[in-house]
Structures are given as C-alpha cells and as structure tokens.
Amino acid sequence: MHPSTYAATHPDKPAIIVAETGETISYAELDAASNRAAQVFRAHGLGHEDVVAFMLENTPHYYGLTWGAQRAGLRYVCISSRLTQDETDYILENSGAKMLVVSASLAAAAQQLTTQITRFAMGGDIAGWAKIEDELAKMPAERIADERAGVDMLYSSGTTGRPKGVRVPLPEDPAIDAANSLVMLASAAFGINADSVYLSPAPLYHAAPLRWSMTIHRLGGTVVLMKKFDAEGALAAIQHYRCNCAQFVPTHFVRMLKLPDAVRAQYDVTSMKGAIHAAAPCPVPVKQAMIDWWGPVLLEYYAGSEGNGMTFATSHDWLAHKGTVGRPIMGTLHIVGEDNETELPVGEEGAVFFESENIFEYHDDPEKTASSRNSKGWSTLGDVGKVDEDGFLYLTDRKSFMIISGGVNIYPQEIENHLVTHPKVADVAVVGGPHEEMGEEVIAVIQPADMADATDAFRAELLSYAREKLSGVKIPRRIDFLEALPRHDTGKLYKRLLRDQYWEKAKAGA
C-alpha cells in the first residue's frame, strides 16, 4: 500500500490531476519524484527522524516532496502560507527543521524569515535561494539504501494561540508500504479504493487534505487537486473528472449552496458517492440542504491531527440523529465534567475525551500535552459535547471559545450556525467582547454577501432573525460588519484575532 507499488503495476495511471489545468502526474512520475526528493534529503544530511519543512501553495509537485520525506524516514512539517513571519519562524525553530522548501510566489514572506536553515525555492526564483528543481535534477530516480517509513508532524493553524506541533512516534513497522489506521478506515468506512477519483479542494498544508490525499495514493486512486477552492470550480471539477469522493469543510458547502440555483443546476454531481466532511460541525440546515441536493452521500467524521480518536456518521445516521458528528470508530468516547474525571450521563454536556492506545504529544510543550490528558490517560482536543442514548456525539463548541456573560456559559457555534443560514450572510463569527456589568457580551461579526447591506436596517433584520431560533442570552448585543473574516483556507476562523481586537480596544479606552 504505497504509490511505489502502483508505479510498478500501473505506471501510467494518473496519481494527480490539477483540476484547473488538467496537468497530470502518473504513478511512475510520482515514484521517480519521491525517489529524487529522498536522495536530496540524504545529500543534505537529513537522516531518520530529522525534520524537513514545506511552505507551499497547492501544486502537484508537493506530493513528490512529502512521499520523498515519507520514504526517507523523516518528519515532514507542512506550514500554512497564511501565517505571519513570526509564526513561521516559531514553527521552524520549534520543530527543529533542517531544510525548508518555499513556493517562489511566497518570496516576499520567505525573505523575512530569520531562522537559519537550508533553503530552497520551488516554481520560480527567490533571491539568494537555490531552486529545488535544480537540486532534484541532479539526483537519480533510485531508491535510497536506507528507506524507512516517516510521518508528518503538523502544526495547528494557530486559531487560539501559538501553533502547536503534534508529534507522534515513527511507525513501529519501518516498511514504507505498511498500512496505517487511516488507510484501513478509508477502505472499510469510507469505501475508498483504486477506483476512487478524489477531489481535494483545500490547502495541502492542513492535516485532512494532506493525509486523505496521500491515503488515496496508498490505495491506488487518483487525486484531483484544486489549486484554490472556488465553489463553482469544485462543481465543474466533479463533473469534468467524474470525481466520486472528496473532502470538504462546512464552509465549502455554504459557499456552494449560496451559488445561484441556475449555476448549481448546470453541473452533474451524480458521480459523487462519498462527500467526506469534517473540521467543524456542519449547521443542520446546511447539511440537510446538501443531502437534498447530492443525495445521502455525505460522510462525516470528527477527529484531530492528534489521532487520539474518531467518530463517524453516514447520511442515514445523521438523518436519524440530526446534528451528530457520529459514533466512535476509533477509541472509546467519554464525556466528563469540570474536573476532567467524572463521567457524565447521557445528554449532559461536558469535555469530550477519547480513551485510546494512540500516543501523541505537543512538541516541546509538556504543559499543553499534560493539559490534554486526565489521570486515566484519556485525551481531549478541547471540545465540548454530549452523547445521546444511541451513543452518537454532538459537539457544542470549543471550550476556549465559550463566552461567559453574567455567569451564563454561551457557546458561539449555535449562534453562528443559525446566522449563517440568512440568505444575505456570507460568513459569520461570534466572539465574546468586554462588558462592564456582564463580564462579556455576545458580538456577531458578519460578512455580508453584499457590503451594501452593512446597514443599521440589516442589523435589525439579523436581530429579528436571531430571535426566531435563539434564546435571549444568545442574542448578539452587538453586530459588526467586515468585508472578509479572517478565515483559514481549511475553513477555520482565526477567532482569537477577532476577539483580541475588542479586548485591546477596551483596554485602550476606545
């Protein structure tokens, strides 16, 4: 189960197709590229367990590097192109990376980095940097003598603080073609196999797009890679390439659903058999609308880069338990109280913990690692939720996003899930801002579909819309408008940035 296997048996089969251009890399070409990359890493002194970093935009050549690192026994760190110079330098230093490859289109940001490291540009020139293509061209497309399975070492997107690196042990089985848990899950639960044509619409520096698309390669399928997500472009790619599976986040669904009906009707999406989604719970009206449109092909899971557990729900599961993110298929699920120890009964909200044999740590952050565990060895991603009598999990929100107003705990997710369904709302974030009497107040930051709607009249309309479904304590006390929210390409909001602005203004007396 490795792309090198299919390079031997099906050398001309497309491993990667670029959705927008049709550029294609075969399994034989991918295997050769990964061999050359492994040779480059060895030539520059990187051995087993060493770290290489990539800060790249979506390109089909990304996979030659990641598969090269995998077969060289390295830890490969994929860095978001959206991070600040300070955050990127922090990741490079914290991870101990010895080599960095950066897209030439990111030259301005790359030249501000201060970490001393071997540097290469990809896809063009960065002044003073060597080109990775020139380095690769020097190398033979032959396997290195000491192949050993490596693993990714991915960092959070920094939505609630400093990015944190998830470090797991290298696989016990050193064979590069040994199966892993995601391969087995993808095959058994998600129906992925050599016939899969998988649309990957999100940035490869994020855990799910990277791991799932590399799993497609392990199973011999074809990855249709979007350079950048576009709602209509995704539909066009599904139709043109007859994609039968894909990985989405709820934001992708919202944007596709808000296309004009006439545009949506132009595209045939009946080839889709598995629309996998995760990253955040999907608002009930949004998921219902997607099932009505595409049929019962949505497959939802809840998990994290930490790999400590996973839940899964088919469309039929969800229709019978609307709002769920599924039942456990990896690890044992526990809902615990404020002490992080006491297990709560069915229906009560608490911290979501998994009991699992999978071990992870936050690199160079023992305090964060310790805070993710309880005395029983169970671990949490920091989410809050509840289970029903059938064992299905429902997520309330992240504990760090909770607003405490007048002593009442308020979770923004429910408010966001309702407001985003308003036809004139493109995006929404709800945060807690300072309030002299109540401690915090609920603030809704709205991205209108048309900024011409950013008026007091629309504020009143939104408040009326909120009152239709939300209790009084959840009604926003303030509504602000932004042309664009600071949302990660993976769908996650940089809520910390929004929240901090309100608290900083209050401290400054604004």
Distance, CA of 243 to CA of 239 (rounded, Å): 7
User: CA-CA distances (angstroms) from residue 62 to 58, 142, 403?
Assistant: 7, 19, 40
Mean pLDDT confidence for 149-167: 76
Q: What band does 251 get if pLDDT is binned at 50, 70 and 90?
A: confident
d(CA 66, CA 50): 14
Predicted confidence (pLDDT) at residue 158 exceeds the cutoff of 70: no
Distance CA 231, CA 76 (A): 30
Work out the burial of residue 145: count CB atoms within 10 Å of its CB; fewer than 13 is exposed, 13-18 middle, 19 or more buried. Answer: exposed
pTM: 0.82
Q: Which residues pair with 276 in a beta bridge?
A: 247, 299
HEC sequence for 453-510:
HCCHHHHHHHHHHHHCCCCHHHCCCEEEECCCCCECCCCCECHHHHHHHHHHHHHCCC
Helix axes 27-43, 62-71, angle to 10 degrees: 60
The single residue listed with the structure tokens 């011999």 is 220
* Bridge partners, residue 302, by sequence: 311
Q: Can you list the domains of the chain with their CATH numbers?
A: 3-218 (3.40.50.12780), 402-507 (3.30.300.30)
User: 148 and 176 in contact (C-beta within 8 Å)?
Assistant: yes
* Tens-digit pLDDT profile for residues 381-440: 888 899 999 999 998 766 667 787 766 778 788 898 899 999 999 999 998 888 877 778
Residue 6 has a pLDDT of: 96
pLDDT digits (tens, 9 = 90+) for 165-208: 888 889 989 999 998 878 888 888 889 999 999 999 999 998 88
Query: pLDDT (tens digit, 9 = 90+) per residue, 351-360?
Result: 999 998 877 8
Q: What is the pLDDT of residue 510?
A: 54
Contact predicate 277/249, CB 8 Å = yes
Round to whole Å and give the CA distance between 431 and 428. 10
Position 160 scores a pLDDT of 45
- Distance between CA atoms of residues 502 and 497, nearest Å: 9
Phi and psi at 256, nearest 5°, equal -70, -40
Over 80: is that where the pLDDT of 259 sits?
yes
